[in-house]
Amino acid sequence: MKIDILSIFPEMFRGVLSESIVKKAIEKQIVDIQVTDFRQFAEGKHQVVDDYPYGGGAGMLLKAQPLFDAVEAVKSQEKAPRVILMDPAGKPFNQKLAEELAKEEQLIFICGHYEGYDERIREHLVTDEVSLGDYILTGGEIGAMAMTDSIVRLLPGALGNASSAVHDSFSSGLLEHPHYTRPAEFRGMKVPDVLLSGNHAEIEKWRQKESLKRTLIRRPDLLEDYPLGKEEATWLEELKKRNRKDRILVSCKKKPFTDKRDCGNLYECLE
């Protein structure tokens, strides 16, 4: 895969591309990532990439010409790439989209700044407008970094253990189950007995139940689209029946829980 990132602050990516999984994927030639300063494509002596909006208004807009020329310079001639505009008005980035983009041959990220973009960039240059969430960042660089990391780790050979990406939260549609490591007991807090039993079938069943429970508590919205199996549906009903404050779950489906403070004894009720 080839990933091209267009930014007027290319130095921001130095650390991200020279550490951890992304660095190893580049070294293994699993992915080729290039960061290009699209200011060099701006016409004129001063290479200005922004200008005032027609009709007036606050802020400056990125001009169409530098970005059109930059995309045309880096895109592959073999197959049209996905050109991704980092924009708070775009569709939310999620694991499903990461998996979709990981199948592409080339991705081009456009990192914006200022008030926005000339609309012709949206209409005639990009294929996707993507947002990390409902909040505003100074520029698109952080979003491009996050998406690049999420996509690269899905590429074959990028992770030391290929199953790691499969079992991550969201990959299965549910949040990931809890993890424990040595020691078996720390300050009176014990690892669940089943994980020490050596019974792999029971361990897998425990993990699936815990994954379902964690999703029910923290992100119940994910269950709306999750295809429950017969056994999972039974587990889910058992969890709800054992919850002495089931009415809280019902009334809070659109407000995911983040920690115990959100709902008194909810965690204990689901034990």
List 88, 178, 220, 256, catalytic entry = 88
Beta-carbon count within 10 A of 46 CB: 8
Is 134 labeled as ligand-binding?
yes
Together in a domain, 87 and 147 = yes
Together in a domain, 117 and 13 = yes
Does any domain span residue 208?
Answer: yes
* Domain CATH number, residue 7: 3.40.1280.10
> pLDDT exceeding 70 applies to what percent of the chain?
86
Instruction: Check if 115 is active-site.
Output: yes
| pLDDT digit string, tens, across residues 9-25 | 999 999 999 999 999 99
Q: What's the N-to-C CA distance of the chain in angstroms?
A: 45
Together in a domain, 44 and 76 = yes
The DSSP call for residue 115 is: S
DSSP H helical ranges for 85-140: 95-101, 119-124
Together in a domain, 215 and 127 = no
Domain's final residue, options 120, 152, 184:
152
Together in a domain, 15 and 118 = yes
In this predicted structure, what is the pLDDT of residue 232? Answer: 93
Together in a domain, 118 and 199 = no
Together in a domain, 36 and 108 = yes
List 115, 129, 149, 176, catalytic entry = 115
**What is the span of the domain harbouring residue 100?**
2-152
Does any domain span residue 40?
Answer: yes
Is the predicted pLDDT of residue 266 greater than 60, yes or no? no
Contact 195, 175 (CB under 8 A): no
Is 108 labeled as ligand-binding?
no
CA 25 – CA 102 distance, rounded (Å): 13
Instruction: Check if 168 is active-site.
Output: yes
Together in a domain, 73 and 129 = yes
Does any domain span residue 68?
Answer: yes
Together in a domain, 28 and 147 = yes
Together in a domain, 118 and 237 = no
Give the chain's domain count.
Answer: 2
Domain's final residue, options 119, 152, 185:
152
Domain's final residue, options 83, 117, 152:
152
pTM here is: 0.80
Does any domain span residue 9?
Answer: yes
Instruction: Check if 69 is active-site.
Output: no
Does any domain span residue 87?
Answer: yes
* Domain CATH number, residue 238: 1.10.1270.20
CA distances from 129 to 87, 90, 212 (A): 6, 4, 32
Most confident residue range from 59-63, 146-150, 239-243: 146-150
Is 118 labeled as ligand-binding?
no
Does any domain span residue 164?
Answer: no
| Residue with the larger pLDDT of the pair 113 and 109 | 109
Does any domain span residue 256?
Answer: yes
Is 264 labeled as ligand-binding?
no
Together in a domain, 70 and 181 = no
Q: Give 231-251 as a 3 state SS string.
A: HHHHHHHHHHHHCCCHHHHHH
Does any domain span residue 93?
Answer: yes
Together in a domain, 143 and 200 = no
Count H helices and E strands in the chain, helices first: 12, 10
| pLDDT digit string, tens, across residues 33-69 | 999 999 999 999 999 999 999 998 889 999 999 999 9
Enumerate residues 6+ apart whose C-beta is below 8 A from 111: 5, 6, 7, 8, 9, 86, 139, 140, 141, 143, 144
